[in-house]
């Protein structure tokens, strides 16, 4: 049997592949409930009453190049060689979580995507993939001889691009707490919490800390001014990072936004300054304006991507 997985900072998702090579009956398990990835795999196998595991492709929310895989936002650590031996696997493939996510993009249907900002794009050129959830994921797809080559990197940890005075004040405030202010420090669940604290301090407002969910609810349900300001700045930073990624990859055929936060603020993103910040690239503004931006709404896209990697 072939198994695919997607492991982030909060959840581990698994699914078996059917005869057509597609994930079926996926299951989500909380990372906090298991000491190791092996424990989670065994529980999934027991719950699905299947033990004949031969091949496993998994997307992990951390660097995946070395034998030792240490997650960025959860406590799990594992050795690829040891995991392969533990389950007597014929094949083990470990990729970054957004590499798996990126590989799903060509296989998503219209029902899996929402167009935030339309544009003609440049067919045949690379695609950019970025998304905020527990952390910030970044990848891309390069077309090559009729196939897609995913990029495996850690673009979520690039330096946060500060553009206007308030951006710089935010970076200065967070820099007093952190050794370095990466993009993930504001474009993630913890990032929303960081932005809330930073903007409150900058405005001289005494507030109790809020969780990311409370910030989003405060903005969208309660119309709280500070929470709305947080979402405004979040969208602007996301646009800046997405625009830089487009220029770096030459991804002028489109940006795809994944992660868990985007679907919660879809309508807000549409009316935000996300695209204004994304295309504000000086002499390349007109070219950037043609790049479409789409939100990924598929429930298990990284499992789809891992399935394509495993069956390629």
- For the stretch 51-78, pLDDT in tens is 889 999 999 989 899 999 999 889 999 9
Of 233, 235, 236, 187, nearest to 212 (Cα)? 187
Assign domain 2-102+300-311 one CATH number from 3.30.1490.440, 3.40.50.1980, 3.20.20.80, 3.30.420.40: 3.30.420.40
CATH topology agreement for domains 2-102+300-311 and 119-291? no
CA atoms within 13 A on the CB side of 289: 7
Report how far residue 308's alpha carbon sits from residue 304's, in angstroms, rounded to the nearest whole number. Answer: 6
Return binding residues for ATP: 5-10
Fold of 119-291: Hexokinase; domain 1 (3.40.367)
Phi and psi torsions of 153, nearest 5°: -150, -170
Is the model's pLDDT at 312 over the cut of 80?
no
pTM, to two decimals: 0.91
Return binding residues: 5-10
CB 170 within 8 A of CB 195: yes
Instruction: Check residue 141 and give its pLDDT.
Output: 96
**Angle of helix 225-249 relative to helix 165-175, nearest 10 degrees?**
100
Instruction: Check residue 216 and give its pLDDT.
Output: 98
CB 162 within 8 A of CB 273: no
Is the model's pLDDT at 179 over the cut of 90?
no
Phi-psi sector, 167: left (phi>0), alpha (psi -120 to 50), beta: alpha
How many angstroms separate the first and last alpha carbons of the chain? 16
Is the model's pLDDT at 289 over the cut of 80?
yes
How is the chain split into domains, by residue range?
A: 2-102+300-311, 119-291
């Amino acid at each position: 049997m072939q198994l695919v997985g997607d492991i982030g900072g909060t959840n581990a998702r698994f699914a078996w592949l059917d005869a057509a090579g597609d994930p079926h009956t996926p299951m989500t398990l909380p990372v906090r409930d298991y000491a190791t990835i092996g424990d989670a795999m065994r529980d999934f196998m027991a719950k699905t009453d299947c033990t004949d595991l031969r091949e496993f492709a998994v997307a992990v929310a951390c660097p995946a190049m070395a034998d030792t895989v240490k997650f960025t936002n959860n406590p799990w650590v594992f050795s690829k060689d040891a995991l392969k031996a533990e389950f007597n696997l014929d094949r083990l493939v470990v990729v970054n979580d957004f590499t798996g996510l990126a590989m799903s993009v060509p296989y998503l249907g219209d029902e899996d995507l929402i167009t935030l900002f339309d544009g003609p794009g440049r067919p045949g050129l690379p695609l950019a993939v970025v998304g905020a959830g527990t952390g910030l994921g970044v990848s891309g797809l390069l077309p090559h001889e009729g196939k897609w080559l995913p990029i495996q990197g850690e673009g979520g940890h690039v330096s946060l691009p500060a553009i206007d005075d308030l951006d710089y004040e935010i970076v200065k405030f967070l820099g007093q707490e952190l050794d370095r202010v990466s993009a993930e420090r504001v474009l993630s669940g913890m990032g929303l919490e960081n932005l809330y604290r930073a903007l409150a301090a900058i405005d001289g407002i005494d507030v109790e800390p809020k969780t990311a969910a409370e910030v989003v609810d405060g903005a969208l349900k309660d119309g709280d001014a500070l929470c709305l300001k947080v979402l405004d700045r979040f969208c602007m930073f996301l646009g800046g990072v997405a625009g830089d990624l487009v220029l770096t990859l030459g991804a002028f055929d489109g940006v795809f936004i994944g992660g868990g936060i985007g679907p919660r603020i879809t309508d807000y993103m549409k009316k935000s300054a996300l695209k204004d910040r994304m295309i504000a690239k000086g002499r390349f503004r007109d070219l950037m304006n043609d790049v479409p931006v789409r939100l990924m709404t598929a429930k298990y896209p990284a499992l789809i991507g891992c399935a394509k990697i495993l069956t390629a």
